[in-house]
Chain A
Amino acid sequence: MSIPAPAPQHRRQRYFFDNERVLGPLLLFPAVVYIIALVGFPLILAVLYAFSDVTVGDPRIRGTENFVGFENFRDVFNDGVFRKALRNTIVFTLVSQVFVIVFANVLALVLSADFHGKRLVRFLVLLPWTTPIALGVLGWFWMLDSVYSPIDYIMRRMGLLGPDSMFGPGRNMYWLGKTDLAQAAVVVVHIWRTLPLATVILLAGLSSIPQDVKDAANVDGAGFWRQLFYIRLPLLLPIMAVATLFSLVFTFTDLTVSLVLTRGGPVNDTQVLSTWAYFKGIQGGNLAQGAAIALFLLPVLIAIAIGMLRLARRSEND
């Protein structure tokens, strides 16, 4: 992009900052510095921490005497809770994302149709994403309360809970107090939370399918299911990959759902990598071990980032 020669009747002054080679980097500089200082550097620091003995009380690495080799990783791995957290992170993510992809496709299809009250429906289904996550999860926390859960009340009224009933004899389910129920609750809240994001991304993809393709399919008499499987879904595949990658990242690295809903309990059965890193690193004060735990998120993130770059490149080349 070159600056065209000035018209002769105008006296065109030259300014130092008109030089694109100066101005370009100069304008970009603050953003790059910020990101390097507070994302790039901490990322390296996370690796250094993981091989050191830093604590909350003494977070500084002074020299080689602070390095302890693989000791943190050995300690972390020898801890049964860590292995639970690793397994939970993977299982919660995979299970919730399978549901998210299926539901998001259905919901995007619904929202791409015209119907009365569509704006309200859109606002409502997006709420879990548009509200601060910690506050939304508090709502679930209260709904799944051990004594006052409205779900328990309904079950009692239907005769499913209480003495001589299917889930009795107790009057309450203790949703967050039993391993399988608490794990299921965490997965459901993850689905609840990421479904809106995947849906709106898919919706953007649906609305980009060219009208003439749809018209041609209609003229040819292709029915709803045929259009769905032969036109919509194949055309949506790249955008579905984008949606999946995003919701994967957000679920896999999430700390808030497990922390607010169960604090990792009962007996660490809903502990995930990020909550365990928090409990060890911040609450327990062992920054080094916390960093070692959190580093287990990195391989998956790198894989996802490579996937993203490929998708972005492909759409650019189209």
Chain B
Amino acid sequence: MATLPPTQRFASEGSGRGKQFLARTVLYATAVIFSLFAFIPFAWMIMTMFKTNNDLYNPRNNPFLYNDPPTLSNLDLLWNDTSFRTFIFNTFLIALVVMAVTVIIVVPAAYSLVRLAGRWGSNLGILIFLVYLVPPTLLFIPLTGVVADLGLQNSKWSMALVYPTFTIPFCTWLMMGFMRSVPWEIEEQAMIDGYSRIGAIWRTVIPVSIPGILTVVIFSFTLTLHEFVYSLAFVQSSGEKTVSVGVFTELIRGDVFFWQSLMAAAALVAIPVALLYNYFLDRFIAGFTLGAVKG
């Protein structure tokens, strides 16, 4: 995000000091209220994950305090006595495949749309981006049939196959933005120097696009972690589940909730993903604004 010039203030009306003070107060208060609204469920997760059973399940206790000293035993339970490790492993394995497939497909596609497709390239690019908006909830039923037909039902590979359907459209669009900023002249020079077109792309465009490729990798990873619907529909046995579905379905058994471990699992996955996502967010948004914002 571009840093704002000092001339721009929240309220430029500041005709008096009092008014200025009021504006700042409103600004900070609003920021705090929205931060709390967004953060409270996560704060509650973090609070819960260190509580003992005695403390947690006594309704007389003040839930905002540690009436017993905080404990790590819930994390121990989560790591050693649940399928959490399997979920993490499955998720990473799927993500790895999805990242590789996405990069291999998206980089050439974006290059083609930006450099070779001419005028209809950007239209086709928008069309591909719109595919990202076809929701999993519309496709999960027929895809369940397709996955069963391919013999992949109840297997993590069903997700490795299907997840690129949403990473490819989105990442092609992202990658197109990066490719546009690569000057044509360096490629041209490589070809004048005797390289083939593909050789020129490999030696000039790809190295310059590394930040773009990295962004694509990160988003393939985070979108894989975010996905819930396909995972829920395709897989029933706990050995094949991903984190987002596994935590929800396996750590709640009938009426027995392992609340602290459940919250630990949610927080331990959610917060790192958020940090990663946050770091690359501006590029994500640049993709979402459809070019309606310039500069």
Contacts and interface: CB of A to CB of B under 8 A. Distances in A.
Interface of A: 1, 3-4, 6-7, 10-13, 15, 17-18, 20, 23-28, 30-32, 34-35, 38-39, 41-43, 45-46, 49, 54, 56, 59-60, 103, 106-107, 109-115, 117-118, 120-128, 130-136, 138-140, 142-143, 147-148, 150, 153, 171, 192, 195-197, 200-201, 203-205, 207-208, 211, 214-215, 217-218, 222-225, 227, 238-239, 242, 246, 249, 253-256, 259-260, 273-274, 277-278, 281-282, 287, 290-291, 294-295, 297-298, 301, 304-305, 308-309, 311-312, 315-316
B34 A135 contact: no
Contacts of A15: 196-198
B217 interface: no
B281 A115 contact: no
Interface residues of B, number: 121
Nearest to A139: B41
Interface string B39-64: 11110110010000000110100111
Contact of B39 (A127, A143, A203): A127
A56 B148 contact: yes
B117 A24 contact: yes
4 A-B pairs closest in CB distance: A139-B41, A24-B116, A253-B135, A59-B145
Interface of A is mostly: helix
Contacts of A153: 62-64
Contacts of A204: 285-286, 289, 293
A196 B143 contact: no
Contacts of B165: 34-35, 38-39
Interface in B177-216: 184, 188, 191-194, 196-198
11 contacts: A15-B197, A38-B143, A39-B165, A42-B146, A45-B145, A127-B42, A153-B64, A211-B5, A260-B248, A309-B126, A311-B290
B219 to A, nearest CB: 11
Contacts of B64: 150, 153
Interface of B: 1-2, 4-13, 23-24, 27-28, 30-31, 34-35, 37-42, 44-45, 48, 56-57, 59, 62-64, 104-106, 108-109, 111-113, 115-118, 122, 124, 126, 128, 130-131, 133-146, 148-149, 161-162, 164-165, 168-169, 172, 184, 188, 191-194, 196-198, 222, 225-226, 228-229, 232-233, 243-245, 247-248, 259, 262-263, 265-267, 269-271, 273-274, 277-278, 281, 285-286, 288-295
A27 B108 contact: yes
A188 B115 CA distance: 45
A31 B105 contact: yes
Contacts of B48: 142
A150 B63 contact: yes
B41 A223 contact: no
Given A27-B109, A131-B274, A132-B270, A43 B134 contact: yes
